Structure 1
Amino acid sequence: MRDTPRPEGTPGDIRPGPPQLRPGRALAHTTGASGSGSPHRSDSRPPQTPRGARPPDPDGRLGTTPPVPGRPTSLLLLLGLPALLFALITWQVVTDGPLVGLDETASRALVRPGPLSELLADLGNVQVAVPVLAVALAYVIWRHRRIGTDQWWLPGVSAALLMALVPVLVIPLKVLTDRPGTPAVPPATGYYPSGHTATAAIAYGAATLLLLPLLRSAGARRVLLVLCAGLNLGVGFGLTRRGYHWPLDVLASWCLGTILLTALWLFLSRSSRRTSAGTPSRRTGPS
């Protein structure tokens, strides 16, 4: 048998470098195929390298995969800041610190008794605020039971227990601080923190938290939030304007109310997620 002669090369024909493309190679692997701009891929997918597909962080560093969850800033503001401010105010009231002197000066400038301030202060009475919360609780419980929500009773009972917790927290603080009232009220002690402000904050705030998920319109939700904020600001203004409380009494109760309402919101959100995740599917097999 006759061997086919092979072309003989010379040492000068051997050149270092990447192999040259031959006419028979697939065009999909040529530079610029499918608009990728990469000589090694036939599509526009990112390269399969450990860091190639990671988007950078806002500060320019590569992100982690998956993202590491962190505590939301809003939660820190709604719990940490009010708690810190409440502790600071209480410390100043107990030790008769510099904030107390500023508080008394501000009160003397604010106190101007009148019918409007009396009316606004009355919105923090138990006889006014608690019935408003009771009506909201009844409506929320009825709505949840009507649509067949699991644990339909939980939101209403939680808000009612939170309302009952207000005197449990406020009355011992009044006894411990033993702060006297303003010159506009009869001589007495136990004005810190403001019970009327705390009652209004929890009653109107809890009612708002329970009603918000039931409102489909964003405009209606905004109106409800503005109404809640307006009622609480009105109560605080009325109490200080009438001279029933020092401004720090009202501010401390707002801080306490913010902490309690945030705790209620977190509890209801977690319960809602747990209920949704634990609801079994009604389809047990192919139809």
Structure 2
Amino acid sequence: MGSSKLFISFLVIQAIFISSSLTQAAPSNLFREYIGAEFNNVRFKDVPINPDVEFHFILSFGIDYTTSSSPSPTNGKFNVFWDSDNLSPSQVSSIKKKNPNVKVALSLGGDSVGNGYAYFNPSSIDSWVQNAVSSLTEIINEYNLDGIDIDYEHFSTDPETFAECIGQVLTILKRNGIISFASIAPFDDDQVQSHYMALWRKYGKLIDYVNFQFYAYDKGTSVSQFLRYFQTQSSNYRGGKIIASFSTDGSGGLSPNEGFFTACSKLKSRGNLHGIFIWSADDSMGNGFRYEKQSQALLTSNQ
């Protein structure tokens, strides 16, 4: 009788393990798109939304700089720098009401502000965190947002300070129920990676998605190169959901015309496709959002 119970317990544990493994390996239907950075009048409703995907719009950008003609750092006091005329609080509410599968986030930092780079430039950890929590909570509540994305690309401080500032803000915003998800958007640059990997090592458990900028690799990237890059970043951000990406501005990386969707199909067949994101809706208007449709079709296919 004892051995029979032991055998049954073993079968139950084995079934749970197999079920868990299958769940972890299952590809995601997550589609994410940056929007609003280029002020070309793109609206949420312009972008095709497949009802079978989990769809995240990411407003670009919230930046802790002044909104004057010569922007300067504000030590964590964030301001809206996206096209808020076309992407307003009422439009956020409208697109979410019409599409229950849509969530909206804001991205912090970005590459530039005014005519210069947008630097991560805190006066101190404590003051930056306090200002960031206060200003971001206000923006998130006003716009009815669901999450944030960290996309600082230039730094005036060391990786440990960056990790503490961002990690503490994520901790507080999640603990207070202000956001339900967070992502980071690194790319393959030594300084960038040193900062984001320091954040990942200490606060990775708070980061739901890694929006790795694969389009920052050289233009003309091949399918095999892309898959190697994906494996490398999966190792760097071990345990993270690395999101495959391309740009519609033709800047670099593996383009849709050169095999991006072939690479994604290979990742999906291996259970490694955690989602797709595009930079950006602003650039996609010119081609009628052709690749947004194709991306979402691949994510929802049964292959």
What TM-score does the superposition give when structure 1 sets the normalisation length?
0.22
Q: Which has the higher strand share?
A: 2
Q: Which has the larger radius of gyration?
A: 1
Q: TM-score, normalised by structure 2?
A: 0.21
More helix by share: 1
